[in-house]
Amino acid sequence: MRLIVQIPCLNEEQTLPGVIRDVPRVIPGIDEVEVLVIDDGSTDRTATVAYEAGADYVVRRPRTEGLAKAFALGIATCVDLGADVIVNTDGDHQYRGEDIPRLIAPILDGRADIAIGNRQVAVVEHFSRVKRRLQVLGSRVVSGLAHVNVPDVTSGFRAYSRDAALRLNVFSRFSYTLETIFLAGSQRIPVVHIPIVVNKPSRPSRLFSSVRSYLKKATGTILRIYTLYEPLKAFFYVGAVLGGIGMIGVARFLYFYAIGQGGGHVQSLVLSGVFLTIAFQVWMLGILADLISINRRLGEEILYRVRRGGGTTNGSGRPTSRPRGIVTEPDADVLVEAAGRERQ
């Protein structure tokens, strides 16, 4: 049983060594523990420091492409390296390595395929009151929309079984945390949450500059992802609002018509007809989007079977070779160059 702890990071040369050293290398039920660092175009010595600190693999990008892309690259690399369980943690040392055994326990027991560390955001001391309330509210909204009970939807401390990792597809550039929860709900992947305690922040967040900025990005991400995974519902709700406005205008016209004053309110009827026409078109778009989503799901299933059957492996789900060291990725999609040395 092989566990790989992946650490997506950007300019984390100060905190990354502590994160790597904090990863337990002996865990009951795990035969081998390895560390993979994904350097998302850092301008400091993150890649070199990671390898010197004990990382088994370092994937280095020549330019920054965002947390979500770095996470997806890490998952794909872990799968290619033959990981049975994958743990994702942050490079800022927010999460504690000692919680990894508890995080992966539900996966080892077969109770879940995804385990998410619950920071218990309502009581985190270094969160502001506004941030705590927004985190709790956001988690409830996302959990309800995705039909998955996750009290801390933005937690990056997560564990995935190999089967769950093979099914992951990330399209967002902002953050993977929300999208993967919607995907888990869509594909009925068992998810559990594990209470954890976090370290105090060593620096301000680089993912967003302010609460307002985060709300703007997160809201847009949620709407786009919900439309991606639940297109019929999303378009139905929009059409229902437009149709409701149209029906109000119709009711207004009928009221005045019934009392003998309908002649001066024809414009209400015309405007209502416009809203009802648009609502009907939106519903038709929803049906088309739902049909397209069926093809997407079929494509995801085919991709899952292809990943499960081989890819860069020898057909058994294990890699034919595992070069250790620093790996350079000159292209955004395909890893074509491997440069490094075998750890002594």
Summarize pLDDT for 245-257 with one digit per residue, the tens. Answer: 989 888 887 887 7
- Specify burial of residue 204 (Cβ count, 10 A radius: 0-12, 13-18, 19+): exposed
Alpha-carbon distance of 21 to 15, in angstroms, equals 10
**Which residues of the chain fall below pLDDT 70?**
126, 202-211, 262-265, 310-344
pLDDT recorded at residue 284: 93
**2-229+316-328 belongs to which homologous superfamily?**
Spore Coat Polysaccharide Biosynthesis Protein SpsA; Chain A (3.90.550.10)
Pairing status of strand 191-195 against strand 158-161: unpaired
Q: Tokens 């409830």 appear where?
A: 140
pLDDT recorded at residue 210: 64
pLDDT recorded at residue 130: 77
For residue 199, the SS3 value is: coil
pLDDT recorded at residue 218: 76
Alpha-carbon distance of 158 to 118, in angstroms, equals 9
pLDDT recorded at residue 293: 83
